[in-house]
Amino acid sequence: MPEKKWRSRVTTDGLDRAPHRAFMRAMGLDDAALAKPMIGVVSMRGEQTPCNMTHDFQVDAAKEGIAEAGGTPREFTTISVSDGISMNHEGMKFSLFSRELIADSIEAVVHGLAYDALIGFGGCDKTLPGVMMGMVRCNVPSIFIYGGSALPGKFGGQTLTVLDSYEAVGGFMTGDIDEATLQGIERTCLPTIGACAGQFTANTMAMVSEAMGLTMPNVSMIPGVYAERAQVARQAGRLVMRMLEQGGPLPREILTCRALENGAAIVAATGGSTNAALHLPAIANEAGIPFTIDDVGEVFARTPLIGNLRPGGKYTAKDVYDIGGAAVAIRTLIESGHIDGGCLTISGRTIAEEYGSASAPDGEIIRSAKSPIMPDGGVAVLKGNLCPDGAVIKVAGLKNLMFEGRARVFEDEESCVEAVRNRNYAAGDALIIRNEGPVGGPGMREMLGVTALIYGQGMGEKVALITDGRFSGATRGMCIGYVSPEAFIGGPLALLRDGDPIRIDAGARRLDVMLDDAELAERRQAWKPRPPRHRAGALAKYARLVGQAPGGAVTHAGAAEWPWFD
């Protein structure tokens, strides 16, 4: 590679940089390695979660590709908080927060050590948006790579994902399944390392990375344990060197408003995770693009549901891989006009050029846009007097889009879980979990534990759950989250009382309490803010910085610049 004025020269060139080079020589770098561009390779290698354990061989392959193409790979790691292991206890407050820590740590290392380019691996849920946010913030030549999902499990003749283990707990509590069955599901639902096998948050955001052009084409649905991933990672190492040589395309050249709309479209089309409505605005914020939950909702409303994928459908990521990968859905949406094929990708080619030759939909796992499962998306943004700034629901798989019931108000997740475990609720209840928002939680916990219990008890179609917290991508049922503004800062959820009449019309995109404005105004006059739950530590800092869900629950103003880009 011809020598250029790489960013990393600030650490390697000149007699005054002898101390800097001494540190690098101590790591085994020789004169030849020091003369090459320095390429960061970030992952979450570690033992926090099986989701990231597929990174090991892929990181090694990416480093080989970088070296083959004339670069010096520099590996570093960042944190990961397992959503599955932190679920349904106080630890979940760190899950969304970890997204910001990942992006911040990538910025700190890439700029602090003056790396010239970046390959970033993601696995567990928040690592994917966290890495993409870091890429866009740093705006050096970058490639995102998802580590891949686990293979689905088998038990009793049924195909399983980890969601089945959550719902089995509820079934065990009601006596519908015995302890042997519960343990059998536990031991078989995750037979390999890799992220959750359904179209939950990790696989959703992996498809989003493809639709936005930030990753290698058709990589997202390759199972995490397949050797094919090493080949793709090695190709990524070579490609990032070419991007560096050519000066791009850079992340902010790829991430346009239309690219973000493409990302939202693949979420709606596949019945993906509601968390995407939070992550897309956060990624947009890094580029300084105004793109809120309202923009996401507009795309959701105009995009047909074509993916028959769990949790709302039948199939897993492995099944999508078997019929041709995410490319099948992306090509279908390009042809139907729901994805803009003219958007740029990391290769310098357009989305249409990369995906135009993909396989046609099989009609069962992925349908044609002309014969969709639903005419509008599998995820919807709601408005109403309970959520004037928005709320999100996954409608894929719902048997009924209408619900009318009475409020059962809980001040935190634990109180609701206790009631559900004791079956202290009834059909027609709208379970309200408040003070779990970005500031009030703090950290906006996911509520998969309680929703899975409800489904496991056979009540999934008989009650609703509404919260200013979040839901896992594995959640199903009449579950509405991300209610904004949150109760802790005086949002309408804070005004609800037991017995209040609640009306949900997901088809009309409405969430309301059937009380008049005068009654709500009177309650607002009597409302008093609650004291913060954390007065010190990381969560206290987070609560002081974090914004509301419609803007992505971000912690900084966005569009960060670095002096070397002047």
Whole-number Å distance between alpha carbons of 334 and 185:
39
Return the structure tokens found at 250: 């850079």
User: What are the tokens at 221?
Assistant: 């649905």
Q: What secondary structure letter does DSSP report for 273?
A: -
The answer to whether residues 96 and 443 touch, using CB atoms and an 8 Å cutoff, is yes
**H or E element in which residue 142 lies:** strand 142-146
Catalytic residues: 472
Tokens representing residue 184 in the block:
């059998």
Structure tokens at 396: 């894929």
Q: Identify the residue whose tokens are 């579950």.
A: 479
Contact 102, 132 (CB under 8 A): no
Q: What is the CA radius of gyration of the chain?
A: 23
Nearest Cα residue to 233 out of 244, 245, 222, 247:
222
Residues 6+ apart with CB under 8 A from 60: 230
Closest by Cα among 250, 196, 258, 208 to 54: 196
Q: Which two tokens stand for residue 125?
A: 């849920």
Give the integer Cα–Cα distance in Å for 102 and 108. 10
Q: Provide DSSP, 439-478.
A: TTTTS--B-HHHHHHHHHTT-TTT-EEEESSB--TT--SS
Estimate the crossing angle of helix 201-211 against helix 276-286, to 10 degrees: 40
Give the C-alpha separation, 328 to 503, whole Å.
38
Q: How many CB atoms lie within 10 A of CB 179?
A: 8
What backbone phi and psi angles, to 5 degrees, belong to 42? -110, 140
Rounded-to-integer distance, Cα 132 and Cα 136, Å: 6
CB 510 within 8 A of CB 504: yes
Strand partners, 40: 74, 118
Element (H, E) at 5: none
